[in-house]
Amino acid sequence: MKKILSITLAALLVMSLFAGCGGSGSGGGDTQGGGAQGGDAQGDITLTLWSHIEFWNDAQDKIIQEFEAANPGIKVKRESFPYDDFESKTQTSLLSKSGGADIYNLWGGWAVDFASTGAFSPVPDDFVAELKADSYEPVLGAFEYEGNYYGVPLEFNIEYGGMLVSIPKFDELGLSYPKTWDEMIRIARENSESRGVNFELRGFDFPAWDALTYIWLSMILSSGGQYMDGDKFNFSTPIGIETMQKLVDYVKVDHMTNTEGITNAEELEPYHKFFLGESLMVPRGPWVVPEGIDDFGLEYGVDFDYVAMPFYGSQKLFAAETGWGLAVNASSANQEAAWKFVEFWLEKDRLLDYNISCGMVPPVKTISHDPDLLAAMPYLAPLVDILDGGRFIGYFNTDILKEAVGDMYVNIINSDISVADAVKELDDTLNEE
Amino acid sequence: MKSKWFVRAVLLPAVILFATFMVFPIVSGLVIAMFDYNPLRSENSFIGLSNFIKLFHDATFIKSLKNTLTFVFVTVALNITVCLFLSTLISSLRWGRLRSLFRVLFFMPCVAPLVASSTVWRGLYSPKYGLINNFMESVLHIPAINWLGTPAFVMPAIILFTLWADMGYNIILFSAGMDGIPSDFYEAAEMDGTNAIKKFFFITLPLLGRTMSFVVAMTLISHFQMFAQFQVLAGRTGGPNQAGNVLTYYIYKTAFQAKDMGYASAIAIALFVIIMIVTLIQQRASRVDWGY
């Protein structure tokens, strides 16, 4: 009897252990729509769309409603997660090649990691032809792998070409916005003020996670240089070293700003500090403009402006990475319906409406100059004219590049290492990885 | 015989748990370290000890190792010294409720999640808006310091935060140890006219040996494993010139950002070996063969 009791007890303990490990569900997310993945009792198809929680979820729901109205046999269920959860859930589901969503609203750069694993369904051929004909170069770059495309772009992610300028401070100084690189640097140099480690006014606050790298790459490209030699990094060129030396001197010699934007010394990003009145000019993507208006209560056109940033060299060239887009899961049982939904989303008028709702620069040429777009977002005006100069940054993990460039830059500022040596080390590090 | 079966049956879940969550991950880590393992690739090649050999040539690993050792030994030394001093002061209080009050006050930071308190301290360290610099400038008339943006100050800033966040446990343990020392020793010393400092060094400190051994071992191990404050205070680059990059953070970055799980496992095993060696040395050095 005791033996049976002990075995029963042990079995119960083991079962409770495994019960604790089991279970399913996708708690913690923001969900729209309903129905089980794959289909429901009536035989309708139910697609699952995964995205992260953002203000653009409403615009996605609008598209879903329109799609469901136009396609009565297909339902779409949106599941949105906090950004970090979304990234890890996406990676886990794509690696396991089972479960997950039918469609992912993912960052284009992630496709670099997954396209080669066969996790994504290739874009249908007729859709590819249409996309290639109308898209800007950088927006497709990360989705292409060995001649096939594994995702479609929803935006042109642009981190170079525009900058925030303080209208009151320019008025107070009696200055007009700079038209050339040299003029911009002169204004920044002459008007920066610091007191110890703190700044009263940062003339040109450029050292930040994205901005530093994109400015450097644009300085190289606009001067006719290259930073890639085949599939290897090659910053150790005369123009690569010269341009990095300039960027170092702006901080080390001219004291236009410091490296707080990269070193985590300050919780605020450079554009936050701009909105708090600490800076004269800050380069950043146009997506920060709504944040200045909504979160800082500033008035666009009165408190600040968003203007074209001059190019360092004579050519209006800059690097850009593939931004937010859509990809279809290769393990989805409903790939055809999923691509139908994606194509529906990318119809010109709908994409334009979505870009306006989300404050995004359109990825395709036919709508980037649409009057409705510029009426809704006048601050895009300086950017839409330079989009043709965008070059795909390269088929690599851009976070690794940005971190390595940021590390190198801070190291040069805080030590006696020469720019040439530091850039050589950068090449070695990146090419080893 | 029957009782043996019962014992085995009852222990079985614990053994399964231990094997699943302790033995299996360690063995898996060791195996993965011998592969060029990236979960995003369909094929991962066996590379033997290459990942371990790479450790000796990796400047970031060497820098992280130096930072880790500096952090651990400075923080543990300061922690033990300050905790001993504060515990002595608290134990010398005659009113029991006041002793409890101070223990609770010092223990409070331990209750807060490390990520949350690190985030608050990041704000305190802010060059322009932080409380610490504002206090230094306005009250002490000392120029502001860019705490987390200057290579020389990143590690001291993290050490200061860790001391604040982690002292409570050891104060409780030392206080309990001091309360357990028989009062006869102190009474005898007082009759001989011994002053407080001598009582501390010749009675309290030697008789705290067992507590000290436990506290030092646990503090060393936990400090080698600390991660949250480095991620929050040093940031994703590991601080300027990687001055705040430690092994735990380097493992995280290698595994989950670079997705080089094989090399990350090799670093983790190196950390495991370092902790084991340091703990063995410490245990041998502080062996106690007596009781009271």
For residue range A179-210, list pLDDT tens digits in order. Answer: 999 999 999 999 999 988 889 999 999 999 99
How confident is the model at residue A11, as a pLDDT?
52
The minimal CB distance from A263 to the residues B2, B17, B240 is found for: B240
Q: Nearest chain A residue to B1 by CA: give it.
A: A3
Q: Are B127 and B146 in contact (CB under 8 A)?
A: yes
Mean pLDDT of B41-45: 78
Instruction: Give the model confidence (pLDDT) of A336-367 as tens digits.
Output: 999 999 999 999 999 999 999 988 999 999 99
Q: Please, which pLDDT band fits residue B65 given cuts at 50, 70 and 90?
A: very high
Q: Are A405 and B236 in contact (CB under 8 A)?
A: no
Q: Does A37 touch chain B (CB under 8 A)?
A: no
Q: Does A9 touch chain B (CB under 8 A)?
A: yes
Residue with tokens 């015989």: B1
Q: Chain-wide mean pLDDT for chain A? A: 88
Listed range (A2-11, B190-199, B209-218) with the worst mean pLDDT: A2-11
Helix (H, G, I), strand (E, B) or coil at A165: strand
How confident is the model at residue A172, as a pLDDT?
95
Same fold, A31-157+321-392 and A162-319+397-432: yes
Q: Using CA atoms, how far apart are residues A229 and A172, in angstroms rounded to an integer? A: 47
How confident is the model at residue A28, as a pLDDT?
45
How confident is the model at residue A14, as a pLDDT?
43
A409, A414, A419, A425: CA torsion to nearest 10: -70
How confident is the model at residue A19, as a pLDDT?
40
Task: Identify the CATH assignment for A162-319+397-432 out of 3.40.190.10, 3.20.20.60, 3.90.1420.10, 3.30.870.10.
Answer: 3.40.190.10
How confident is the model at residue B290, as a pLDDT?
61
Tokens of A225: 């240089």
Residue B31 lies in a domain: no
How much of chain B, in percent, has pLDDT values that exceed 70?
Answer: 97
Q: Using CA atoms, how far apart are residues A103 and A88, in angstroms rounded to an integer? A: 16
Q: What is the CATH number of the domain that holds B278?
A: 1.10.3720.10
Listed range (A23-27, A244-248, A271-275) with the worst mean pLDDT: A23-27
Residues present in chain A in total:
433
Helices A2-21, B2-18: crossing angle, 10 deg rounding: 10
Instruction: Give the model confidence (pLDDT) of B135-187 as tens digits.
Output: 999 999 999 999 998 999 999 999 999 999 999 999 999 999 998 899 899 89
The minimal CB distance from B241 to the residues A6, A116, A410 is found for: A410
Q: Residue A145's beta-bridge partner residues?
A: A148
* pLDDT of A10 over the 70 cut: no
Which residues of chain B are at the A interface, by a Cβ-Cβ cutoff of 8 Å? 2, 5-6, 9-10, 12-13, 16-17, 39-42, 122-123, 125-128, 143-151, 233-237, 239-242, 257-259
Total domains, chain B:
1
How confident is the model at residue A112, as a pLDDT?
85
Q: Residue A306's beta-bridge partner residues?
A: A164
The burial class, CB within 10 Å (0-12 / 13-18 / 19+), for A317 is buried
Residue A379 is classified by DSSP as G
The minimal CB distance from A3 to the residues B2, B40, B239 is found for: B2
**CATH top-level class of A31-157+321-392:** alpha beta
Amino acid, res. A89: K
Q: Which residues of B touch A433 (CB under 8 A)?
A: 258
Any idea where the domains of chain A sit in the sequence? 31-157+321-392, 162-319+397-432
How confident is the model at residue B105, as a pLDDT?
92
Q: Which residues of A touch B237 (CB under 8 A)?
A: 262-264, 403, 406-407, 410
Q: Please report, for residues A59, B38, B41, B262, the alpha-carbon distance to residue B259 in angstroms, rounded to integers and kept in the order given.
A: 33, 6, 10, 9
Instruction: Give the model confidence (pLDDT) of A107-162 as tens digits.
Output: 998 888 888 888 899 999 999 999 999 999 999 999 999 989 999 999 999 999 99
Q: Which residues of A touch B1 (CB under 8 A)?
A: none
Residue B26 lies in a domain: no
The residue among B254, B256, B255 whose CA lies nearest residue B61 is B254
A413 or A38, which is more confident: A413
CB atoms near residue B245 (< 10 Å):
25
* pLDDT of B78 over the 90 cut: yes
Chain A closest-CA separation from residue B19 CA (Å): 13
Amino acid, res. A146: E
Q: Please report, for residues A50, A123, B155, the alpha-carbon distance to residue A341 in angstroms, rounded to integers and kept in the order given.
A: 13, 12, 52
Q: Are A106 and A380 in contact (CB under 8 A)?
A: no
- Is A260 within 8 Å of B149 when comparing Cβ atoms? yes
Q: Are A46 and A35 in contact (CB under 8 A)?
A: yes
The minimal CB distance from B235 to the residues A113, A117, A263 is found for: A263
Q: Residue A282's beta-bridge partner residues?
A: A164
Residue B29 lies in a domain: no
Q: Using CA atoms, how far apart are residues B100 and B78, in angstroms rounded to an integer? A: 23
How confident is the model at residue A23, as a pLDDT?
37
Mean pLDDT of A271-291: 93
The ipTM of this complex is 0.79
- Is A6 within 8 Å of B5 when comparing Cβ atoms? yes
Q: Are B27 and B209 in contact (CB under 8 A)?
A: no
Q: Concatenate the DSSP letters of all residues of A71-115 into one string.
A: -TTEEEEEEEE-HHHHHHHHHHHHHHTSSS-SEEEEEGGGHHHHG
Mean pLDDT of A283-311: 93
How confident is the model at residue A68, as a pLDDT?
96
Q: Which domain holds residue B255?
A: 54-285
How confident is the model at residue A31, as a pLDDT?
54
Q: Please report, for residues A113, A208, A233, A326, the alpha-carbon distance to residue A109 in angstroms, rounded to integers and kept in the order given.
A: 8, 19, 18, 12
- Give me the total of CB pairs closer than 8 Å, taking one residue from chain A and one from chain B: 110
Mean pLDDT of B226-240: 89
Residue B13 lies in a domain: no
